[in-house]
Amino acid sequence: MITIKYLNKICIRLGVLFALSFLVACSQTKYGVVKIVSIPAGAEVINLKDDTHLGRTPLLVTWEDEDDAAKNATVELRKVGYVEEITSFWVNMRHTTKEAATLEPQPVTIELRKRN
């Protein structure tokens, strides 16, 4: 026979399991990948948020965060003989793995102007 005390225990355990699963789902790391391409290729890419060198174009850059809100990024592209170019873009943080994000990079293409 099922008693009220037994049902209360089951409800409490289910509530705890639900709360834990909700917390785990909320704290899952999210990823976004941007493919930065310059015309011409070979431009140095600098993240202006922290002045880090990200690499040379063409370049895949991965962002990760606990929050799935889009991230605003600002980068500077530099190439000898060309005018430096600063651009901003939004990174969509919708992927749950780096691998999935890498399969669907967001394209960012910057055309550099020759220096006079």
For 77-110, write each residue's pLDDT tens digit.
999 999 999 999 999 999 999 999 999 999 999 9
* Mean pLDDT to the nearest integer, 20-46: 84
Closest C-alpha to 62, from 36, 27, 44:
36
- pLDDT of amino acid 3: 73
Average pLDDT, the chain: 88
* Mean pLDDT to the nearest integer, 51-76: 94
- pLDDT of amino acid 14: 65
Correct CATH for 29-111 of 3.30.200, 2.60.40, 3.20.20, 3.90.1530: 2.60.40
- pLDDT of amino acid 18: 62
- Do residues 37 and 106 touch, judged by C-beta distance below 8 A? no
Q: What is the reported pTM?
A: 0.74
- Rounded percentage of the chain residues whose pLDDT exceeds 70: 81
- pLDDT of amino acid 4: 72
Domain boundaries, the chain: 29-111
The C-alpha atoms of residue 33 and residue 37 are separated, in whole angstroms, by: 13
